[in-house]
Structure 1
Amino acid sequence: METSRRTLIKAGAATGVALGVPLASASPADARKHAARLRSDPFTLGVACGDPWPDGFVIWTRLALEPLAGDGLGGMPSVPFRVEWEVARDPSFRRVVRRGSQQARPESAHTIHVELHGLPADRDYWYRFRCGRFDSRSGRARTAPRRGTMPSSLAMSFVSCSQFEHGYFTAYRRMAEDNPDLVLHLGDYQYEYTAGDYEAPGGNVRDHEGPETTTLETYRQRHAQYKTDPDLQAAHAVAPWLVVFDDHELDNNWADETPEKPEDGFLARRAAAFQAYYENMPLRRTSVPRGIDMQLYRRVAWGELATFHMLDTRQYRDDQGCGDGYDTDCPAAVDPSRSLTGAAQEAWLLNGFRRSQSRWDLLGQQVFFAQRDSDEGPLKTVSMDAWDGYVASRDRITQGWVDADVRNPVVLTGDVHAHWASDLKLDYDDPTTRTVGAELVCSSITSGGSGADSASGSHPWLKWNPHLRFQNNLRGYVRTQITPTEMQADFRCLPDVTTDTAAAFTRASFVIADREPGLHQTYDNPPAQAKRDGRSDREIGRDTIRWETQRP
């Protein structure tokens, strides 16, 4: 019985198997001796910062001498190591404000999470680590502005979907070069497949190491492989991140306790994936997994300028109705009892709307929010894996921000491997109804290969979904500038991901004005070759369905 299996795994967490409960203690002297004996650099996976609050943030690193080691422990001896850390007000570390040390233990794959408190608000900091005679690279951290203050601006970029095999992570590098204050990663940070099982059009440019990730060892190894990428390391080092997972951090299209395909031991796989995810992300102690459960939805405020409601649309959802792909008139999609967030998270979100005093309320989440009908005719054909498959759940949340008089609601989305921009409605079937918000969807970093460029407005679905305002199928990220009067979004694109030197450019820009829900396009950069592979608009539309329904 599923419930008893879940209880068993939860009980395992209480015995000390789960992350955050040390199996054994070592003396500080021993940990220091082990660090002194290191003969090569253990900081091969870089550094990271996350979850900024007005008085602090989390800094992270992980020791790995051989990152791709099959046991997932990075070639580290099975002993604790003393790791020193310091935080400074300047990048040269002349004004150190905090320092300390922690033991990096084998039972947590030699990861370090330092949770800083008591720092002044709204300031830049720099941090670094040392183990023995080796220093890590430095990273930039930042405290959020205090509540009750109105910052003049926030430079925030958001990303999703980085399939290592499908291309180079150049988009991470280009994002880092923009020097954002904050980065949101909205899911599919890593992918679970064996090398070659998920192939991009034109072939993969590099391979995954190891088998499909199903165990703690293989998830740790896969995270380590991704963290070795220099472009990803640069993106982590430039600013604090807010992270949430989607499906591929565990298994394609999973839903709560249901895998994509029947498999024995899925709950144990879920517990392993969550533990490895926490180990490798700059998350606070409140997100330490307990068996198969992980508290990931949370709120982060940026003074009175913005509140980020970071959602988890996988862990509590009802299973997708009528399959995982596109379907027409699926009864489950409109069943009011079904939820994408689960009842507790939905209540938490609605309460956050009612209590919000922010100029901008931003929902950082994973799957397409607006209605997206792929059928030109009278039938409605939509994705079961998006909010279209949970219409009542979407309606309750949209009505919730309307009833709470949320000043400027904006949904930030990943997952679909293409840039999109949408006006949000209470009734998508009546285009004359008022717009009540906006959705910005970032393309993938690499997933799906290089993609294809097209002129703004050329995607066929925009013709019969008038609330959909923009689409482009190149890879990239979304760069935003948020001020008290407006939010500008630049859809940044790369011409290809098969080389590691591609430059980024802005294909289109939109502005959302304070108290004016909806999108105003301010910039449209026509592509030099709108359809470089010679396909028609309708073929491009069919390919969108194919990639979202037939991906492995």
Structure 2
Amino acid sequence: MPHLDRRSFLVTGLAAGAVAAVPAVVPTAASAATPQTVPAVGKSPRGLTTDPFTLGVASGDPDPTGFVIWTRLAQTPLAEDGMGGMPLRPFPVQWQVYGDGRCRRLVRAGVAAAAPEWGHSVHVEVDGLASDRDYWYRFRVGPYVSPLGRARTAPQPSSFGGALTMAFVSCAQYEHGYFTSYRRLAEDHPDLVLHLGDYQYEYTRDTYTIPGGNVRDHEGPETETLAGYRQRHAQYKADLDLQAAHAAAPWLVVWDDHELDNNWADEVPERPDLPQPNFLARREAAFRAYYENMPLRRASVPRGIDMQLYRRIRWGRMATFHMLDTRQYRDDQGCGDGYDDCPAAVDPARSITGAAQEAWLLDGFRKSRAQWDILGQQVFFAQRDNNAGPAKVTSQDAWDGYVASRSRITQGWLDAKVRNAVVLTGDVHAHWASDLKRDYDDPTGPSVGSELVTTSISTGGDGADSDPAAHPYLAINPHLKFYNNQRGYVLTTIERDALTADFKVVPRVQTPGSEAYTKATFVVEDRVPGVQQTYLRPLDPVLMAAAGVTTNLTVDLETLRP
């Protein structure tokens, strides 16, 4: 794995003529600049013959004074060497932040180095901005100008700000469908987007297929090398629907398994029974490529096989987002990763977060003064038993495989008297909503939190509309309140008195262009743990007839509440 020396990380800040040298492991530009010092656009640098902004732009991790802005230069995104058709030398990239969408009021600017050692990616930590407002940004290199992106700063720590529109997504398998949901999400103009994992998939073509065949193919072999991961990220980033979602709002990103290897756990690959002497080198390559392609701050620069991804983002007093990493520190899944009545699941020594991350999270609960404490994480949190008998048969890859770990986290927010605990989840390729319990074996016990689960962007293909009440899991697990098997995302509105979640779906992803609609709406009221359904759209008429449903009226459950 290549490493940069100190000279490679010199960044021209253009602020009072200063040149900022950042630590030798940090490929990021952070210095703000006065607009008047931005040099004029010149001719194309040597070796740059076509537009290098083929992968779009992104922003992320906002705070009250700024955010990260990102781009990556690639003239030929799918180049097999992972270098995007770029010469193996650094390029100076101008960055500009504006106070208006027409780019008339330049408020910050500077120059950052896009170095080949980091895939010609650029990470700029912009600061010195006003809180709780929109900004727009773009990049320039030679005569080429990037697309324009929108970012937003968080409110001041003492302020609630206005209502926060937040969307969360997961699981985008390029081969299984088009990224229509990303486009529809962008059209909803959120203030913040959470990506909860499986941003890309590692498989070579025709390995992970859906009935009827995949609609498009991955380039290259299964991702195991830095070149392979860079190429795969570039293939995904070149998708215009994904670019639109990134340009619409700042993102908070965390990974799940497919960014590296299906069902990996710490230093253990999916198939530990097979010889894989290069797994740690693969992990290092995957982590490096993930950083290169995400709008992350310098604190997340990987160091060998380690990467600091769990972190806390505060949106004023309205919400604190505790972004978790449930892969890098977990004990290996018990009982062969399957669904079993598994003794390992209840072993109190086992953890899905690791001790340090668990302590960090519990400390965050104790110190929180937020109206809403929101856990952005990967796998199903509530118990999901698929056996109606006395044996408990659950997924060992989810929190069900780490029961004591889940209990400690739940008790932690109760002991800290967290005002409203909400868990956001991806991974399972379906929409779910559930009440969280201290004791899932006592369904009459009080709810102590809420879980909202987003379906996939495309993984699994089109899916199908479904009657939530017909799913057997809901009968076995009375705390589970909703299920739908279409593709889409969840759009939330977070206010002081309630969090409202619209479960958005698109009818088709195996063909492009579907419109999105709301399948169901759930509300979590302030200081009322658990989810309350206020709207449910009926089944598609064809599916309704097959299911014997005789009415096509929209059911508005708001009118049925006492």
Could you tell me the TM-score, scaled by structure 2's length?
0.90
Q: Which runs of 5+ in 2 are unaligned?
A: 10-22, 28-38, 549-562
Distance 1:231 1:317 in 2: 33
Distance 2:402 2:335 in 1: 12
Q: Secondary structure, in 3 states, of the residue corresponding to 1:197?
A: coil
Change in Cα spacing, 1:190 to 1:127, as seen in structure 2 (3 Å) is: same
Q: Which residue of 2 aligns with 1:473?
A: 485
1:56-96 deviations in Å (ceiling 9; x for gaps): 10000011010000000001111111111100000111100
Change in Cα spacing, 1:238 to 1:486, as seen in structure 2 (3 Å) is: same
Q: Secondary structure, in 3 states, of the residue corresponding to 2:45?
A: helix
Contact 2:182 2:241 survives alignment (8 Å): yes
Query: Which of 132, 135, 140 is matched with 1:122 structurally?
Result: 132
Could you tell me the TM-score, scaled by structure 1's length?
0.91
Q: Which residue of 1 aligns with 2:287?
A: 274
Contact 2:4 2:117 survives alignment (8 Å): no
Q: Does 2:234 correspond to 1:234?
A: no
Change in Cα spacing, 1:32 to 1:391, as seen in structure 2 (3 Å) is: farther
Distance 2:543 2:406 in 1: 34
Distance 1:415 1:405 in 2: 29
Change in Cα spacing, 1:94 to 1:519, as seen in structure 2 (3 Å) is: same
Aligned-pair distance for 1:281?
0.1
Q: Secondary structure, in 3 states, of the residue corresponding to 2:337?
A: coil
Contact 1:128 1:136 survives alignment (8 Å): yes
Q: Secondary structure, in 3 states, of the residue corresponding to 1:35?
A: coil
1:217-265 deviations in Å (ceiling 9; x for gaps): 0000000000010000000000000000000000000000000013111
Contact 2:175 2:218 survives alignment (8 Å): yes
> What are the equivalent positions in structure 2 for 1:390-401 lying under 5 Å apart?
390-401=402-413
Distance 2:319 2:234 in 1: 33
AA matched with 1:43: F
> What are the equivalent positions in structure 2 for 1:236-275 lying under 5 Å apart?
236-262=246-272, 263-275=276-288
1:157-193 deviations in Å (ceiling 9; x for gaps): 0000000000000000001000000000000000000
Distance 1:85 1:162 in 2: 29
Q: Secondary structure, in 3 states, of the residue corresponding to 2:531?
A: strand
Aligned-pair distance for 1:452?
1.5
Distance 2:427 2:227 in 1: 26
> What are the equivalent positions in structure 2 for 1:477-516 lying under 5 Å apart?
477-516=489-528
AA matched with 2:278: G
Aligned-residue Cα RMSD (Å) equals 2.3
Q: Does 2:333 correspond to 1:323?
A: no
Contact 1:71 1:217 survives alignment (8 Å): yes
Aligned-pair distance for 1:378?
1.8
Contact 2:345 2:403 survives alignment (8 Å): yes
> What are the equivalent positions in structure 2 for 1:265-414 lying under 5 Å apart?
265-328=278-341, 330-414=342-426
Q: Which residue of 1 aligns with 2:534?
A: 522
Distance 1:69 1:21 in 2: 28
Q: Which residue of 2 aligns with 1:546?
A: none
Query: Which of 439, 450, 464 is matched with 2:462 structurally?
Result: 450
Aligned-pair distance for 1:102?
1.1
Distance 2:142 2:378 in 1: 40
Contact 1:368 1:413 survives alignment (8 Å): yes
Aligned-pair distance for 1:456?
2.7
1:312-358 deviations in Å (ceiling 9; x for gaps): 00000000000112111x11100000000000000000000000000
Identity over the aligned pairs, expressed in percent?
66
Q: Which residue of 1 aligns with 2:211?
A: 201
Q: Which residue of 2 aligns with 1:540?
A: none
Query: Which of 99, 124, 131 is matched with 1:89 structurally?
Result: 99
Bigger shift: 243-252 or 369-378?
369-378
Contact 2:25 2:301 survives alignment (8 Å): no
Aligned-pair distance for 1:120?
1.1
Distance 2:121 2:544 in 1: 45
> What are the equivalent positions in structure 2 for 1:23-172 lying under 5 Å apart?
35=45, 38-172=48-182
Distance 2:164 2:382 in 1: 25
Q: Which runs of 5+ in 1 are unaligned?
A: 1-8, 537-552
